[in-house]
Structure 1
Amino acid sequence: MSWLSGSSSTPSIASTATPSHQQTAPTNTVDSLYDAAGITDDSIDILDIQEDKLSTIEGSQSIIPSRDWRDDLCYGTGTVYGLSLVFGSAYGFFESVGKIQPGSSFKLQLNTILNNITKRGPFIGNHAGILAMNYNMINSGLDYYRNKHDDYNTLAAGALTGALFKSTKGLKPMVYASGLCTLGAGVWCGFKRVYLNSDESGNKKLE
């Protein structure tokens, strides 16, 4: 009969006890899991090339850090192939503009453009990729044999790459291709010298 006197047996919200497991913060955080596994910041190496793992061949420091010939092969071949594919596609596009017949339909114009892009792009990209692959393999072989990377290796690799590329076409095409690839290797040597001997502000570095 306590309801007649105005009292209530229902506990108030303030007096309701909160379970202890709801008051404590969760312990399954990333830091706690790392601590339990014994993992520290010093023991984690993710896509990090350490200085002691880079190539130790004299003069092997280039624009992109490299560990061995496999890095040079992947970086060099992939970069040259990608750039040549873009250049070939652009060349095919501009070439197709002159082949479009006046008064032709939009579908025919689009078909002409796509045909030229798919014809020139992969053709130039594949040939340039083969040249880059052969060049990097020969250059890396010369580096390993001489235990040194310098301009002589680069120029020799360019000459041998051009000669090998046109070796089935006769002596004269071999000489022409060898000369062009040697010229390209010389330009690459000059670019590396300018890039590696200049700081971020464009000032010459001291040797």
Structure 2
Amino acid sequence: MSSSDSPSATDTLRAATWATGSPSSSAAPADRPQTASEVLGAGGFDPSRLHPMAQIGDKLDYLLLDDAKISELPGASTALPSRGWSDDLCYGTGTTYLSGLVLGGVWGLREGMRRPLGVGGARLRLNAVLNAMTRRGSWMANSGGILALVYNGINSSVDAYRGHHDVYGGMAAGAISGALYKCTSGVRPMLISSIIMTSAAGGWSYVKHSML
């Protein structure tokens, strides 16, 4: 037989008939597409054959993550529920950064509107406002974010060491955070910053517990 007389691959596929082995699917019209259940059910789909080394048995296993579990540390039940130190660190830092950005922007807007200009003009006033908002907003956001990051990290470490959470631990974390923030400016700025952060941390901890 010459090569010209041999059937091509296209002709072979067109003439072939496909059987799934399922009685319900064999009675279906040839032009109807098969569903996923028919295809998988026809071959006796077995999850254990996906990979023998996985040892998953005849059923698929699911990974159960207990993400909604609240922190069980004594005293940690406040008006703002937390799942642990990572929640306090991430949410506390992010919230403080955004709050500082908004407050700094408002401060810069007020400063830019009141700043005297040598030459009047809307474009010069807009430029002064944008410069002031950018300067004040970024400064307050960065400063607040750094303070919140250090405070939450120290506060979580203090709570883990003491085995419980209370107002005094938050005040101690605030004092240390304030002192570290101004540690390069001298003793007096360190004391002032430490006192301010201690008062703020104590008030914040008291409000969280009293609102529960």
TM-score (ref. length: structure 1):
0.70
Runs (4+) of structure 1 exceeding 6 A deviation are 21-25, 36-40
Residue segments in structure 1 that go unaligned for 5+ positions in a row: 1-18, 29-35, 197-207
Which residue identity lines up with residue 49 of structure 1 in the other structure? D
Find out whether 1:145 has 2:161 as its counterpart: yes
Amino acid at match of 1:120: R
Report if the CA contact (8 A) 2:79-2:209 is conserved.
no
Q: Which amino acid aligns with 1:73?
A: L
Matching residue of 2:112: 96
Distance (whole Å) between structure 1 residues aligned to residue 30 and residue 168 of structure 2: 73
The one of 143, 150, 170 aligned to 2:186 = 170
Distance 1:64 1:183 in 2: 20
Measured after TM superposition, the shift of residue 39 of structure 1 is 7.7
Which residue of structure 2 aligns with residue 132 of structure 1? Answer: 148
- Counterpart of 1:108 in structure 2 is 124
- Name the CA distance, whole Å, in 2 between partners of 1:25 and 1:64: 52
Instruction: State the alpha-carbon separation in 2 of the partners of residues 150 and 184 from structure 1.
Output: 14
What one-letter code is carried by the residue in structure 1 that aligns with 2:193? A
Q: TM-score when scaled to structure 2?
A: 0.69
Does structure 1 residue 71 correspond to structure 2 residue 93? no
CA–CA distance in structure 2, aligned partners of residues 175 and 24 of structure 1? 78
Percent identical: 39
Q: Mark the CA change 1:107 to 1:69 in structure 2 (over 3 Å): closer, same or farther.
A: same
CA shift for structure 1 position 72: 1.0
SS at match of 1:149: coil
Match of 2:211, SS state, is helix
Q: Is the 8 A contact 1:76 1:136 kept in 2?
A: yes
**How many residues of Structure 1 are paired with residues of Structure 2 in the alignment?**
170
- Structure 1 CA distance, aligned partners of 2:160 and 2:63? 32
1:50 aligned residue (68, 83, 93): 68
Question: In the alignment, does 2:134 pair up with 1:118?
Answer: yes
The 1:107/1:191 distance shift into structure 2, 3 A limit, reads: same
Contact in 2 for aligned 1:100/1:112 (Cα 8 Å): no
- Tell me the SS of whatever aligns to 1:167: coil
Structure 1 pair 25–63 and aligned structure 2 pair: CA distance change class (3 A): farther
Matches within 5 A, 1:147-162: 147-162=163-178
The DSSP-based 3-state class of the residue aligned with 1:123 is helix
Distance 2:60 2:102 in 1: 44
TM-superposed CA distance for 1:124, in Å, is: 0.8
CA contact (8 A) 2:147 2:181 kept: yes
Q: Which residue matches 2:9?
A: none
> Mind listing any 5+ residue stretches in structure 2 that lack a counterpart?
1-27, 38-45, 48-58
Cα 1:175–1:39 change in 2 (3 A) is same
Coordinate RMSD, CA, aligned: 2.9
